[in-house]
Structure 1
């Protein structure tokens, strides 16, 4: 299978440690989850997507990780998700337009609550022609910073990412 560059790039930026608890928003058919599970030894991935068809495909692709408890999938929108405070060390979203096409205040508030201190939010896009990358980075960067994250923008050709680090220290033994 040919893995899209945007997914390998995004997982590389996220840089999960072997024991991280990762949330992927808009997991589609689970390609990024497979890439994440390859990096995790004791860590886990929880993935959400609004499409039941996509989640079923993701479960099939990641069957072994689901069976061993390293991956779990939920059919739901981010707005409908509810996780305990500090549940995740890293959060990934690739081409999830809700963060730049409208107000994502409720979602960013929830992500801030769900991330552990020192956690990383990684929001990535591959705009069709790259011309909107600057617009996306600007809008998303401002919104993420307004929710108390320390932000950085990263570009690679047409790919763009906004990284948000939650203030605080990571869990003991984590980089």
Structure 2
């Protein structure tokens, strides 16, 4: 298993993440609607909004996964932070970075992963909108466009002013 690299701008990235004031906050409908739609649109059992701090990836919103966070060292999302394009792993068992990852060899048995970076206006990436399946898959250009549009919606909500408890 290859651990995710630490981005060169890690200090600034973490500052931007903390400034959002979203880590460890209750679920909000404004985010839950997006991951529910993503799970249905892509017919995947798991969809997440993952925010990556120093030690973990924490899920602001999740469908199909009971855990609210996992260690950054085993995270797929951590690998996406330094990339300019979405990270798409069609079959994790065939990818040397992930084949022996405990999230692949054990629950939730990830085989397919697609993570679109949550890039703020500053250019800093705070996490991903990701899709996960237990079977290998591919995405075509239309799928990537839809994932990109949903990612943009998440970024808009990340930077929007809070709308009260539960976020309408």
TM-score normalised per structure 2: 0.32
User: Using CA pairs below 8 Å that are at least 6 residues apart, which structure has the higher relative contact order?
Assistant: 2
Going by fraction, where is strand more abundant, 1 or 2? 1
